Amino acid sequence: MFPGANTDRDAAEYVVVGAPLDVSTTFQPGTRFGPDRIRTFAEPFDDFDRRSGQSFTDLDVHDHGDVHAWDDAEEYLEYVSGLLSDVRREGAVPLVLGGEHTVSLAGVTAVEPDVFVTLDAHLDLRTEYAGNELSHATVTHHALETADRAVILGARAGSEAEWQRAAEPDVTVVAPEAVGDWEPAFDDEAVYLSVDIDGADPGFAPGTGTMEPFGLTPREMRDVVRRVAPYATGFDVVEVNDRDDGQAPSLAAKLLRTFVYEHADRR
Amino acid sequence: MFPGANTDRDAAEYVVVGAPLDVSTTFQPGTRFGPDRIRTFAEPFDDFDRRSGQSFTDLDVHDHGDVHAWDDAEEYLEYVSGLLSDVRREGAVPLVLGGEHTVSLAGVTAVEPDVFVTLDAHLDLRTEYAGNELSHATVTHHALETADRAVILGARAGSEAEWQRAAEPDVTVVAPEAVGDWEPAFDDEAVYLSVDIDGADPGFAPGTGTMEPFGLTPREMRDVVRRVAPYATGFDVVEVNDRDDGQAPSLAAKLLRTFVYEHADRR
Amino acid sequence: MFPGANTDRDAAEYVVVGAPLDVSTTFQPGTRFGPDRIRTFAEPFDDFDRRSGQSFTDLDVHDHGDVHAWDDAEEYLEYVSGLLSDVRREGAVPLVLGGEHTVSLAGVTAVEPDVFVTLDAHLDLRTEYAGNELSHATVTHHALETADRAVILGARAGSEAEWQRAAEPDVTVVAPEAVGDWEPAFDDEAVYLSVDIDGADPGFAPGTGTMEPFGLTPREMRDVVRRVAPYATGFDVVEVNDRDDGQAPSLAAKLLRTFVYEHADRR
Amino acid sequence: MFPGANTDRDAAEYVVVGAPLDVSTTFQPGTRFGPDRIRTFAEPFDDFDRRSGQSFTDLDVHDHGDVHAWDDAEEYLEYVSGLLSDVRREGAVPLVLGGEHTVSLAGVTAVEPDVFVTLDAHLDLRTEYAGNELSHATVTHHALETADRAVILGARAGSEAEWQRAAEPDVTVVAPEAVGDWEPAFDDEAVYLSVDIDGADPGFAPGTGTMEPFGLTPREMRDVVRRVAPYATGFDVVEVNDRDDGQAPSLAAKLLRTFVYEHADRR
Amino acid sequence: MFPGANTDRDAAEYVVVGAPLDVSTTFQPGTRFGPDRIRTFAEPFDDFDRRSGQSFTDLDVHDHGDVHAWDDAEEYLEYVSGLLSDVRREGAVPLVLGGEHTVSLAGVTAVEPDVFVTLDAHLDLRTEYAGNELSHATVTHHALETADRAVILGARAGSEAEWQRAAEPDVTVVAPEAVGDWEPAFDDEAVYLSVDIDGADPGFAPGTGTMEPFGLTPREMRDVVRRVAPYATGFDVVEVNDRDDGQAPSLAAKLLRTFVYEHADRR
Amino acid sequence: MFPGANTDRDAAEYVVVGAPLDVSTTFQPGTRFGPDRIRTFAEPFDDFDRRSGQSFTDLDVHDHGDVHAWDDAEEYLEYVSGLLSDVRREGAVPLVLGGEHTVSLAGVTAVEPDVFVTLDAHLDLRTEYAGNELSHATVTHHALETADRAVILGARAGSEAEWQRAAEPDVTVVAPEAVGDWEPAFDDEAVYLSVDIDGADPGFAPGTGTMEPFGLTPREMRDVVRRVAPYATGFDVVEVNDRDDGQAPSLAAKLLRTFVYEHADRR
Ligand SMILES: [Mn+2]
Ligand SMILES: [Mn+2]
Ligand SMILES: [Mn+2]
Ligand SMILES: [Mn+2]
Ligand SMILES: [Mn+2]
Ligand SMILES: [Mn+2]
Ligand SMILES: [Mn+2]
Ligand SMILES: [Mn+2]
Ligand SMILES: [Mn+2]
Ligand SMILES: [Mn+2]
Ligand SMILES: [Mn+2]
Ligand SMILES: [Mn+2]
């Protein structure tokens, strides 16, 4: 159980769902251990948040546990999406723990946002990767099948085709150096917020599949989460694996907590 | 390059091929780093083998390098199989470095053995695993589509259906405790030898996807390799990952060397 | 959840309880992560046991989860003991995942065995360790306050006073070299079986607090578990930490499974 | 021996004392290895400090070695406190290597400062933690039994009660974002400086018990140490464990060196 | 092969040479694994560089592989220097992967620059270290036997004698805090750029022999590489070992890529 | 200090000397951390030895600490040899903690044995390795410049020339499979016993420079140490590095303790 997520499902305002998919990870695998690592490294956090004056245990968070992954990503996403749709229908906000970035598609399908906001080192705008149309590197591309537009914060890597795609009006890319000054502008748009932990500089999150130097600081990521949370109806943090000394899962767990505190404070 | 494998392809009697497939690994992933780890931990071995009086560098081994894996296992196996068929056609013996156990199927298809001999903790006789008909857990089942019979040495785990399948006359299972006394009996049969490193007890090979206690000692595995090598026309060592301090890849590299020394000595 | 322990509490024949106590660990700490590690490394095991023809999921095992530990060992043991007494009262067999060896005392108090059988590198017959009367190094001493006698299998370390205590008639010590030939002789005695993973040689279980070379092989430990299981009404496996590549927790998980298969087969 | 601490005790201006207490660590244990790790990772540092023009080996530092810890924290602190009082009486400055944060209380008792200045992610103002009145999480609370006031730099976590306590006039909390601009204002006050390494962001010090993201940079911590050192008569660096690749102990060792250079330069 | 370095030697504009020397490493050894680690962690990088609009695979990079190191540093450097001179003669730019910093001397001898620019935590201006005149700690001293002047960026450690040497007019030291504002001023001077990965703060590059806190951020290092690349005719990145979770080799690989993109864009 | 080695130098019967030489390690470096690791993992051992009825602390062992190594192996060995000669002159038995195997030469020179007995996977009979006449791979060759004969127990690797050298009458090689039955036959010969930890199978000692599978079990090594100790006047245990989870240093520390208990018991 995610520490402090001790509310029953039917009374929950937020529902944590672990989605340990790990089939298309390109370089270093291990996202299948992501949800476990995130829950574990959330252990030492205080319940109370001084900024908002709230306690996590008062915010009605339920942990559904993991949806054990199998090899067929498409089927798996469909299943998880159904589960997250139920969460939405019951009026709760889904909080997905990845698993590879692909699992965000389950969240997007369930939440049907107008805007897909993501912290990521990569554009993830490929239409396929190594023949796979459901690779983690295609997630923003697929998210745009549901959302009207995407905002990619901290991106510093992509293919030439991806950068061309990113130049179209429905995509906003905020370079790592500009993320600190970024302010959201959402007009009555429903927002889904996806945190690919590799948006962080590898020094702060080495436990991820595809490290990309020159990334964000934890505080920059936190500030984005704070700014976006009030508008969001779905959240995930993905691409954490078990290949570090706890830096990546600790940051991931804290960003999830940040999201919940800020969202609850503004709702 | 596998240390000492410095013969040109056209003069080679043995061809090392890395097949870092890592898509169906059930528990701990990382077989994609297997070939690299095995080559690295082969570095400190002496060239000379006292038992046979041979030097590895005299035995005409070529290292083809890795066939970079992609997500579609079926296509990948077909490609690798083609490559290994070429190796066979040129009169050389393929030595495959996995990668998950599934890659043995490329070897089996290329070599077309009468007997599939495997050191493995698991029966690998499933017809599918979690919906996947090409899982590593199905490799002996598929090998029997080509080979007439299979000998599984060191097996201590399997589903009920697998054990029933194993009771049929075309499968011989040798329990871990009986491996030391096992003697091969091949009448003019062509043999393929596949070493799943998890046949070893986890103390000797922790760096593998699905550890299974109560396994073989390194010497027991060595003796099997020595006994089978004279009959074999294809060899692989698989399921090594990067999650230990070198025990698994060191053992794997040594077993490959053992195979080559013994095979060359008897040819 | 321990993999396969999917029976409801009231229908359970066996109840897994995690007891991650980690206060008196002498050398390398980390037993607080023991239950988690054991559950995780049990993942890849097959449900079916060929020896007994049984499936683990049919054996009515429930996982109670962990009793989160706090600093006061005495209070903690009392609490856990109460819980295990309930398990006993309901007719189920407790299976405790440590945590430091001290947690066996909760099991012993609940089960009230005639004989305390333990696999351990150490005698654990101290009356106190560094001033602490509830140190892990005192567990067999305290077990003898409840049990009539103790059998310590694989012991190779102890203080002079402990060896003197061990020479008394209510203690049987079986040296590591003699464990293979040991046969239990219980006349209508109720037995509690405690597996301190450091009974194994460090090569097979490096992830433990106080490694002691020249220990048991996994098969020797398995055979003891098989021989004692039919007589036992309580079981634990303790002293696993998170400081290895999975060798210790994999062995611990397998020994627990061995206990359940054998116990169920003979009940 | 701390590298360069090669002065005899009676000629010493500074005395390093290792205090590897590790009993109340909440999450990841291992502070018992802290002093060793800090000494080891101090090895590669140059003797000479360009800023002050001093060599460490000229600054009369003695290393007392470790006071081996036992389970009773209260007794242990009393013992260490006695030792540090002797150090003070001889006119030297104690430099304590933790060990959990609790060991600062030995320093505070010996030094009897007017102000307790601490770099810490946590307020440590609890009156007890999980029933333990001597938990590391109570250290600033207890320090205030001796000191008149406390300054907590970099704090970003605490319970609601702790934040209320922190609002009282004898406590100054400097948020992580404000630490860079913080200037000390001590009027003839005796100061004790305690560095809890978890004040740093986890990227810079993953080897600690309770990582807390959004923390300080090493340079921010260095600047605090430089500013406070001239006023301080006691120093410690605590909460380093052995669970990283050297980042935490390297930083800890460097901050100790920074303290000594700056203190010696101003005395 | 360095990923993307798939040009033949005779068509190459850039030639990667691995120089895994590891004989004089002072503290933590393992630079012998540096080239392998750097190549491996370059795997996940995109081929395309948005800033320059170039693809790495179009930039004519060849990977010569490693020059296996032996114990005699002098002879080794001579050999490598000869190889790099050939590279220069063929009109290509050498890109050396260390190995300890000493290997830069092979590059300097081959390239004969007017200016030796280095990112380094250390001055490396010793004339010998522990009796060794070819220690990694002497590399800038020796480089000045060929080059007219040296620029050391990010230096924060050195002996008193080194700092005195650094005060002479042929050496420019840029403190870590000033590196962000540093602009190169080269008048028709040939430049060699050497990146000692320990220039970075240990949080960003723990896998190096002699960590030194208070260092550079990855972006600061990147900006130096970008500014110097247009003037450089030789490049190396050194002092990466295998003792971290990929942070150091990932950064090293990225800085090499940064160098090539920027150099190619300006040539 | 080696745990329990608390006797003053002038009263010592045994003197522990750390010799962390690490210059010629062929594959995985790190023997410079060997003495530290061995001392650390000796911590949890009981003082009392039941077999001999002795306590380690009663056996008059002194720990001299480490002789910090520098790059020039020849000079270093000379220095250490001088120190060990002093130890001998004072009537004590030197116990050397390596460091690479080369350090045995310091022991041999000081002790001047008739027989050099070594547990080793390798013959170490080279006259030079990669041009280095003082490589760890030449140690038995050099020992035979002092000793009349050598006994190499557990050897399974060597060059062709080494095996030829080993066939001469002054060398006895005992294959790993025969070590269990080996009995020493020393007629009034002075013996030096050197334990290269790589004599063990890698499963039991992964933390060493050149792992070689199919090696000895810890008990086989123990039995050799017990049989040789009564005849020996010098002892070392070498080639332990810091690249495992404690298996190698734990075994090394235990073998040293075994030597001392047995030697003291028979003297
Ligand atoms: Mn992504
Ligand atoms: Mn990404
Ligand atoms: Mn298999
Ligand atoms: Mn298997
Ligand atoms: Mn015990
Ligand atoms: Mn024990
Ligand atoms: Mn604290
Ligand atoms: Mn803290
Ligand atoms: Mn340097
Ligand atoms: Mn440097
Ligand atoms: Mn040797
Ligand atoms: Mn050896």
- Is F267 a residue whose pLDDT tops 80? no
Which residues of A carry a binding-site annotation? 101, 120, 122, 124, 196, 198
Does A2 fall in a domain? no
**Distance (Å) from CA D117 to ligand 11 centroid:** 53
pLDDT tens sequence across C11-25: 999 999 999 999 988
Instruction: Give the integer Cα–Cα distance in Å for C27 and C100.
Output: 12
Query: Where would I find the H helices in C52-159?
Result: 73-89, 104-111, 139-146
What is the chain A residue with the closest CA to B128?
A: A71
Number of C to D CB contacts under 8 A, please give it.
35
- Min Cα distance C241 → chain A (Å) is 15
Report the mean per-residue pLDDT for chain C.
97
- Is B71 a residue whose pLDDT tops 90? no
pLDDT given for residue D170 in this prediction: 98
Determine whether the interchain pair B130/A70 forms a contact, defined as Cβ–Cβ distance below 8 Å: yes
pLDDT given for residue E72 in this prediction: 86
- Is C249 a residue whose pLDDT tops 80? yes
Determine whether the interchain pair E158/D251 forms a contact, defined as Cβ–Cβ distance below 8 Å: no
Cis peptide before A234 (omega within 30 of 0): no
Can you read off the two tokens belonging to residue F232?
């020996």
- CATH code, A98: 3.40.800.10
pLDDT tens sequence across F160-181: 999 999 999 999 999 999 999 9
Determine whether the interchain pair A71/B22 forms a contact, defined as Cβ–Cβ distance below 8 Å: no
pLDDT given for residue E267 in this prediction: 74
Q: Which residues contact B37 (CB under 8 A, 6 or more apart)?
A: B207, B240, B241, B242, B246, B248, B249
* Window D:32-51, CB contacts with F under 8 Å: 36, 40
* Range E79-96 burial, b when 16+ CB lie within 10 A, else e: bbbebbbebbeeebbbbb
Task: Locate the DSSP E strands across chain F.
Answer: 14-19, 48-49, 54-55, 61-66, 93-98, 115-119, 149-153, 171-174, 191-196, 232-238
pLDDT given for residue D5 in this prediction: 98
Alpha carbon E90 to chain centroid, angstroms: 21
What is the chain E residue with the closest CA to F134?
A: E71
- Tell whether B198 is in a known binding site: yes
Best C58, C245, C258 residue to mutate vs chain B (most B CBs within 10 Å):
C245
pLDDT given for residue E95 in this prediction: 98
Can you read off the two tokens belonging to residue A253?
């767990």
Can you read off the two tokens belonging to residue E213?
């806190």
Q: Does B70 touch chain A (CB under 8 A)?
A: yes
pLDDT given for residue D130 in this prediction: 82
Instruction: Give the integer Cα–Cα distance in Å for D174 and D177.
Output: 8
Determine whether the interchain pair F29/E22 forms a contact, defined as Cβ–Cβ distance below 8 Å: yes
Q: Is E23 helix (H, G, I), strand (E, B) or coil?
A: coil
Residue C85 exposed, middle or buried by CB count within 10 Å (0-12, 13-18, 19+): middle
- Residue A119 in contact with residue A195, Cβ under 8 Å? yes
pLDDT given for residue B25 in this prediction: 80
- Min Cα distance F33 → chain D (Å) is 10
Determine whether the interchain pair B24/A71 forms a contact, defined as Cβ–Cβ distance below 8 Å: yes
F92 phi and psi angles, rounded to 5 deg: -100, 165
> What residues are paired with C247 via a beta bridge?
none
Instruction: Give the integer Cα–Cα distance in Å for E260 and E187.
Output: 22
Cis peptide before D99 (omega within 30 of 0): yes
C196 phi and psi angles, rounded to 5 deg: -85, 115
Nearest of A101, A95, A103, A117 to residue A193 by alpha carbon:
A117
Does F4 fall in a domain? no
- Tell whether C68 is in a known binding site: no
Residue E238: nearest ligand to its CA? 9
Mean pLDDT by 10 residues, chain E (267 residues): 96 98 90 98 97 98 95 93 98 97 98 98 95 92 98 98 98 98 94 98 98 98 98 98 98 98 93
Does F260 fall in a domain? yes
DSSP A121: S
pLDDT given for residue C119 in this prediction: 98
Residue D136: nearest ligand to its CA? 7
Q: Is F9 helix (H, G, I), strand (E, B) or coil?
A: helix
**Half-sphere exposure of residue B256: CA atoms within 13 angstroms, side-chain side:** 36
* Chains E and C touching, counted as 3 or more CB pairs less than 8 Å apart: no
Instruction: Give the integer Cα–Cα distance in Å for C115 and C127.
Output: 19
Nearest of E235, E242, E176, E178 to residue E208 by alpha carbon:
E242
- Tell whether D124 is in a known binding site: yes
What does the pLDDT average to over B26-40? Answer: 96
D159 phi and psi angles, rounded to 5 deg: -80, 170
Does C2 fall in a domain? no
pLDDT tens sequence across C23-40: 988 799 999 999 999 999
pLDDT given for residue C228 in this prediction: 98
pLDDT given for residue C26 in this prediction: 79
What does the pLDDT average to over F245-259? Answer: 98
pLDDT given for residue D243 in this prediction: 98
Does D1 fall in a domain? no
**Distance (Å) from CA C122 to ligand 6 centroid:** 5
- Is B267 a residue whose pLDDT tops 80? no
Does B3 fall in a domain? no
Residue C9: pLDDT band (50, 70, 90) is very high
Looking at chain B, the whole-number percentage of residues with pLDDT higher than 70 is 100
Best A211, A247, A257 residue to mutate vs chain D (most D CBs within 10 Å):
A247
Q: Which domain holds residue B54?
A: 9-266
Task: Locate the DSSP E strands across chain D.
Answer: 14-19, 48-49, 54-55, 61-66, 93-98, 115-119, 149-153, 171-174, 191-196, 232-238
Residues of E in contact with F25 (CB under 8 A): 29
Query: Where would I find the H helices in chain F?
Result: 34-41, 73-89, 104-111, 139-146, 160-166, 218-228, 247-266
B93-98 β-sheet, strand order: B61-66, B14-19, B93-98, B232-238, B191-196, B115-119, B149-153, B171-174
pLDDT tens sequence across B132-167: 899 999 999 999 999 999 999 999 999 999 999 999
- Min Cα distance A51 → chain D (Å) is 10
Residues of chain D with confidence (pLDDT) below 70: none
Which helix (H) or strand (E) element contains residue E15?
strand E14-19
Instruction: Give the integer Cα–Cα distance in Å for E70 and E31.
Output: 13
A66-to-C148, D171, F69, F136 alpha-carbon distances in Å: 45, 43, 52, 52
- Is C267 a residue whose pLDDT tops 80? no
Can you read off the two tokens belonging to residue F18?
């750390």
Q: Does A226 touch chain D (CB under 8 A)?
A: no
Q: Which residues contact A217 (CB under 8 A, 6 or more apart)?
A: A200, A201, A204
Does D4 fall in a domain? no
Instruction: Give the integer Cα–Cα distance in Å for F99 and F107.
Output: 13
- Residue D69 in contact with residue D102, Cβ under 8 Å? no
Instruction: Give the integer Cα–Cα distance in Å for C74 and C80.
Output: 10
pLDDT tens sequence across E137-190: 999 999 999 999 999 999 999 999 999 999 999 999 999 999 999 999 998 999
pLDDT tens sequence across A215-264: 999 999 999 999 999 999 999 999 999 999 999 999 999 999 999 999 99
pLDDT tens sequence across F47-60: 999 999 999 999 99
pLDDT given for residue C72 in this prediction: 87
Count the domains in chain B.
1
pLDDT tens sequence across A143-196: 999 999 999 999 999 999 999 999 999 999 999 999 999 999 998 999 999 999
pLDDT given for residue C192 in this prediction: 98
- Is A132 a residue whose pLDDT tops 80? yes
Residue D212: nearest ligand to its CA? 8
Instruction: Give the integer Cα–Cα distance in Å for C259 and C265.
Output: 10
Nearest of B182, D57, E30 to residue F28 by alpha carbon:
E30
**Distance (Å) from CA D244 to ligand 8 centroid:** 17
Residues of F in contact with D36 (CB under 8 A): 36, 40
* Chains A and F touching, counted as 3 or more CB pairs less than 8 Å apart: no
Nearest of C117, C88, C98 to residue C15 by alpha carbon:
C88
Determine whether the interchain pair A40/C36 forms a contact, defined as Cβ–Cβ distance below 8 Å: yes
A241-to-A37, A206, A210, A248 alpha-carbon distances in Å: 8, 9, 10, 8
- Tell whether B120 is in a known binding site: yes
B262-to-A36, B219, B267 alpha-carbon distances in Å: 46, 15, 9
- Min Cα distance E205 → chain D (Å) is 9
A 10 A CB-CB count for B79 gives: 16
